[in-house]
Amino acid sequence: MQGFPATDRALWRLALPMIFSNITVPLLGLVDTAVIGHLDSPVYLGGVAIGAMATSFLFMLLLFLRMSTTGLTAQAYGARDDRALARALVQPLILALAAGVAIVLLRAPLIDLALHIVGGNEDVLYQARRFLEIRWLSAPASLANLVLLGWLLGVQYARAPVILLVVGNVLNIVLDLWLVVGLQMNVRGAALATLGAEYVTFIIGLLMVRHVLNLRAIPLAALRGAWRGNLRRLLALNRDIMLRSLLLQLCFAGITICGARLGGDVVAVNAVLMTLLTFTAYALDGFAYAVEAHSGQAYGARDGSQMVGVWRAACRQSFIVALAFALVYAMAGKEIVALLTSLPELREMAGHFLWWQVLLPVVGVWCYLLDGMFIGATRGAEMRNSMAVAAIGFGVTLLSVPWLGNHGLWLALAVFLALRGLALGWIWRRHWRNGSWFA
């Protein structure tokens, strides 16, 4: 990296560890898919796919806990405000634990509602229920981990998020192989593996936070009153990002629901291909996370030149990575799919849709980066509005499904990613021309 400009090197110092740690998340999905995909029936894979979709919809609806935490923490870090730094940790952590306990207590009716909405094959839904009954017990730890990750990222302590993500996900993979393959627990084993890993990750995260507080000489006693003050701003920001996340999850849930209506094989093959998309998105999110931290720091310090430098560096470096993913999928897509499932019918069907995986990294990279810019500046309302534009485009494109079949679903996803990037890019450019970004 010696040949890169200073801003590019600073971006890579935070992005590279986040890329490697982030890809352990979809790597877990790859292992889940590969382990379940090699069982003797596609209903297991379909059940885990629906269960994972329902979990993603519910938990990632609360992704505002990480996003708002990163933005507020990075701004406090840039302004050198230790009191705000403590508040940015404690307030969202309380919200996360409260929401997690509520999900555990209400999980039975929530599961009934989720499976009723999805519909489809009864055998697949039965496996999904078995998965969710265990998986959602991890809600308090899963949501609290979002806050811990966001806070550690906001203070630019790159080592801590890496440890948090890598250790948790590697443990999940090991437990997955032991419980599903070794003990033959099928979908319940996959759910138990995630449950155990989430709570271990939570304990590790608390230790990492304590270490950072010690480095900044912030006593634990300072956290006691940190739940007070500026709560209205946090709730307003979380409201906007939650609505944005709701629209995002509705669109991705629409892929699974529409796929289920097209048949059990379609939902299974889309689960395999969505794993590739998720892997790409999490890797490129390493740059988005770095942009969040650096742009939030620049926003807190009101440093426009740093903001522009971060954006240009992110565009240069992340586009190269996006092209690399597209090339890998173009050259080795069939071989990757073969690693994920041994079912010949799924392998053959996946070959018809692989070219979407070549296109989507190049289309989607821009919306990931711009998300990072807006999260760092805590501009939740504009993120919400841009997501609404993209969701409308997604819904309109779904009308093509009766004619295009599963290709219509992937076309809708491509339109969705493109519109997110275009809408956010237009808003960012308008602010920068008017000098209103720091308002």
Model pTM greater than 0.85? no
Let me know if 227 is exposed, middle or buried by CB neighbors in 10 A (0-12, 13-18, 19+): middle
Is residue 226's pLDDT more than 60? yes
* Per-residue model confidence as pLDDT tens digits over 307-358: 788 788 888 888 888 999 999 998 988 888 887 777 777 788 888 888 898 9
Q: Does residue 1 lie within any of the structural domains?
A: no
Is residue 184's pLDDT more than 80? no
**Quick one: pLDDT at residue 267?**
79
**Quick one: pLDDT at residue 417?**
95
**Quick one: pLDDT at residue 242?**
81
**Quick one: pLDDT at residue 140?**
94
Contact 358, 329 (CB under 8 A): yes
Is residue 2's pLDDT more than 60? no
Tally of CB atoms within 10 A around 122? 9
Reduce the DSSP state of residue 4 to 3 states and report it. Answer: coil
Distance CA 307, CA 430 (A): 15
Q: Does residue 398 lie within any of the structural domains?
A: yes
Query: Which pLDDT band holds residue 420 (cuts at 50, 70, 90)?
Result: very high
Residues 12-28 have a mean pLDDT of 65
Cα 411 versus chain centre, distance: 21
What separation in angstroms does the CA of 144 have from each of 21, 283, 409? Answer: 18, 22, 33
Query: Which pLDDT band holds residue 5 (cuts at 50, 70, 90)?
Result: low
* Per-residue model confidence as pLDDT tens digits over 273-316: 887 888 788 788 878 878 887 787 777 777 777 778 878 888 88
CA nearest neighbour of 189 among 174, 168, 210 = 174
SS3 readout for 381-425: HHHHHHHHHHHHHHHHHHHHHHHHCHHHHHHHHHHHHHHHHHHHH
Query: Which pLDDT band holds residue 3 (cuts at 50, 70, 90)?
Result: low
Q: Does residue 411 lie within any of the structural domains?
A: yes
Which residue range is the domain that position 27 belongs to? 6-434
**Quick one: pLDDT at residue 229?**
63
Residues 185-208 have a mean pLDDT of 87
- Indicate the residue type of 76: A
431 membership: H or E segment, kind and range: helix 406-434
Q: Does residue 291 lie within any of the structural domains?
A: yes
Q: Does residue 439 lie within any of the structural domains?
A: no
Q: Which residues of 167-188 are buried (b: 16+ CB within 10 A; e: fewer)?
A: bbbebbbebbeebbeeeebbbb
Q: Does residue 49 lie within any of the structural domains?
A: yes
CA nearest neighbour of 14 among 158, 212, 150, 227 = 158
Distance CA 365, CA 362 (A): 6
Is residue 32's pLDDT more than 70? no
Is residue 26's pLDDT more than 60? no
Provide the number of structural domains found in the chain.
1
What rounded mean pLDDT belongs to the chain? 81
CA nearest neighbour of 363 among 431, 284, 275 = 284
Query: Which pLDDT band holds residue 21 (cuts at 50, 70, 90)?
Result: low
Is residue 383's pLDDT more than 60? yes
Query: 6-10, 41-45, 425-429 — which one is most confidently predicted on average?
Result: 425-429
